[in-house]
Chains A and B, each alone.
Chain A
Amino acid sequence: MQAIRSLLSKSLTIAGSGPCRSRPLSTTSVLNMPIQVGNPIPSVDLFEGDPGSKVNTGELFAKGKSVIFAVPGAFTPTCSKDHLPGYLENFEKFKSKGVDRVVCISVNDPFVMAAWGKNLNADGKIRMLADTCGDFSKKVDLTVDLAAVLGSVRSKRYAMVVTDGKVTALQVEPDGTGLSCSAAKDILSVI
């Protein structure tokens, strides 16, 4: 990856009408792709409970084994009836496999996230972290445009295992919103 970045950062001649000009090709836009296994987890502030309570992902996931599952929306049907409850039911199984924390991330405000967690009895088990402005979801490039139905760009549905700050497993729903590979049982089998 480093070698490719270094190659692309050198000036490239871009052909076009008129005299040839050297223009540096932006590596960021070319290589801005979704987070992958082996990548470090980015350092972004999420919010727990209220807008004043920051939780930095770089710090939270730096040590130990973490399971993250991301959902398109708090209180939406699939997220509420299947996705989150699955992680709650299997919480002890995750612990027995050495998982230190199970975290749910969604692009919602922290009050809504906290209320959702309380509503599903997740307190004390799953940490409900609000990606209020979508910064984390954009950073890992796992977003889905749900403006038409939910009012904003949201997170894709996925599940991720992070070990000592690095992504060691990642399962992203192909359509971004279904539930075919990111359920608790799917991630348990790869830990």
Chain B
Amino acid sequence: MATAQLTRRITTSLLNNSLHRPAACCQIKRYLKIGDTLPDIKLYEDNPDNGISVRDIYKGKKGVLFSVVGAFTPGCTHAHIPEYLESADKFKEEGYDLIGCVSVNDPFVMAAWGQDLKAEGKIRMLADTKGEFTKAMGMELDCSKLLGNIRSRRYSLVIEDSKVHTINEDPQHSGLVCLLCIRNLKTKAQVMS
């Protein structure tokens, strides 16, 4: 009887893994939840030598961190990031200290994109060079065929003193639907409840 129960538990766990649904015990490691502290993972600004822990970037601050699929991709460039650029002053008025944009690109590309968009002083361009932060968020998007590697799905976080306050996620989980405005999205908290 004990063997049958053990077998059932192993089978269920295997099934969960194969369906890419993390078992409950893995959820805390793989996905950030509201109230969690940001992981101590470096993002890179301007060049590969300038790595800063994302936890430190938002320490003692109220801020937004939003992800894009790729620097210089049409949707991100023409619709997604301009929305944040145009709202930058409004975010400041509402007490936000910083807006960060994260993408799985190298820091030279991210910096160049930021320059191209005249984002200096408005949005900090943060490179998740090896996709480590994206993996910790559980937000990988396989863009190997089109862009050459694993990228990030679209989401945004509202962060207060390095703790996650709100999570907004692309409802289609595809990263291909352009997010027009952080406020238009269903919060993950609502989706999960």
**Which residues of chain A have a CB within 8 Å of any CB of chain B?**
51, 73-77, 107-109, 111-112, 114-116, 119, 132-134, 147-152
- B109 to chain A: which residues have CB within 8 Å? 73-75, 108, 112
**Chain A's nearest CB lies how many Å from the CB of B89?**
27
Q: Judge whether B63 is part of the interface by a CB distance below 8 angstroms.
A: no
Q: Judge whether B144 is part of the interface by a CB distance below 8 angstroms.
A: yes
- A109 to chain B: which residues have CB within 8 Å? 70, 73, 146-148
Asked whether B148 lies within 8 Å of A75 as measured between CB atoms, the reply is: no
**Chain A's nearest CB lies how many Å from the CB of B178?**
15
Total residues of chain B contacting the partner, CB 8 A: 24
Asked whether B106 lies within 8 Å of A149 as measured between CB atoms, the reply is: yes
Asked whether A119 lies within 8 Å of B147 as measured between CB atoms, the reply is: no
- B48 to chain A: which residues have CB within 8 Å? 148-150
**Which residues of chain B have a CB within 8 Å of any CB of chain A?**
48, 70-74, 104-106, 108-109, 111-113, 116, 129-131, 144-149
- B146 to chain A: which residues have CB within 8 Å? 51, 109, 132
**Chain B's nearest CB lies how many Å from the CB of A11?**
38
In the complex, which residue of chain A has the Cβ closest to the Cβ of B146?
A51
State in angstroms the CA–CA spacing of A115 and B144 once bound together. 20
State in angstroms the CA–CA spacing of A151 and B73 once bound together. 18
- A116 to chain B: which residues have CB within 8 Å? 112
Asked whether B130 lies within 8 Å of A147 as measured between CB atoms, the reply is: yes
**Chain A's nearest CB lies how many Å from the CB of B34?**
29
Q: Which of A73, A111, A119, A133 has the most CB of B within 10 A?
A: A111
A73-B106, A111-B72, A111-B74 known; A151+B112 contact, CB < 8 A: no
Asked whether B108 lies within 8 Å of A73 as measured between CB atoms, the reply is: yes
State in angstroms the CA–CA spacing of A76 and B49 once bound together. 13
**Chain B's nearest CB lies how many Å from the CB of A154?**
9
Asked whether B70 lies within 8 Å of A111 as measured between CB atoms, the reply is: yes
State in angstroms the CA–CA spacing of A107 and B109 once bound together. 13
